[in-house]
Amino acid sequence: MSTSRKCSVAGCGVYVPASILMCRRHWSQVPHAHRALVARARSAYQRGEVEGIELEAVEARATATVCAPPPPPGAPAAGVTYQGVRITYGGRLIDCAVTTRGGVLEPHESRHVCDYAAGFEWGYSGAGPLQLALALVLDATADPQLALDCHQWYMWAAVSQWGASWLTTAGEVRGWVEQWQREGDGAADAPLVVEGGGE
């Protein structure tokens, strides 16, 4: 068994120990949330709780945050995360919050494009999930017309499937949109989203 391998970032010729995903320079560019996911996935793999293919998928996502093409003008970097959590008090749902870039993703900008609901929701199909799908695609692409064209498909493929909490990135949202554009309406697969994700 080899004790070293090349950094997982394409074009990087640095050799690292086989237990390391990528060189230090590229690892420092991976968002903290993805580094934490890799660490958790590796621990779970060592304990026999996940298959090798699942670990490889998590590592590939981390590598993709470094290898992603530059974002469109006005759009966030590929590694920018969106995290959704439901906030309850006394067993009652108080709010559905979506955080990004150290702040909260608000629905008001997306409501100027199409007004479905005053707030976000997910895990089913309806007005709140439509507003979230529109807001995510709009924020990730900075293209109001593109967001208007494909957000309903994104709601069906992704947002309606999410659990109580989730984590995705701008690069993953854009990747889904690009697949949707190549394959036609509704043909894109649901993006890989980490349920209960977070830092």
For position 199, what pLDDT does the model report?
A: 36
Q: And the tokens for 126?
A: 């309806």
For position 152, what pLDDT does the model report?
A: 95
3-state secondary structure of 40: helix
pTM assigned to the model: 0.64
Integer angstrom CA distances of residue 144 from 85, 111, 123: 25, 11, 24
Q: Are 160 and 125 in contact (CB under 8 A)?
A: yes
Question: Which residues partner with 169 through β-bridges?
Answer: 81
Q: And the tokens for 9?
A: 């970032």
The separation between CA 96 and the C-alpha centre of its own chain, rounded to angstroms, equals 17
* Cα Rg, the chain, nearest whole Å: 18
Q: Are 120 and 96 in contact (CB under 8 A)?
A: yes
Compute φ and ψ for 27, nearest 5 degrees.
Answer: -60, -35
For position 88, what pLDDT does the model report?
A: 74
pLDDT tens digits for the chain (199 residues)? 568 888 888 778 888 898 888 889 888 888 887 888 888 888 888 898 878 888 888 888 788 777 766 777 888 877 788 999 887 777 776 677 888 877 889 999 999 999 999 999 999 999 999 999 999 999 999 999 999 999 999 999 999 999 888 999 898 999 899 999 888 654 455 554 444 444 3
> Of how many residues is the chain composed?
199
For position 138, what pLDDT does the model report?
A: 96
For position 193, what pLDDT does the model report?
A: 47
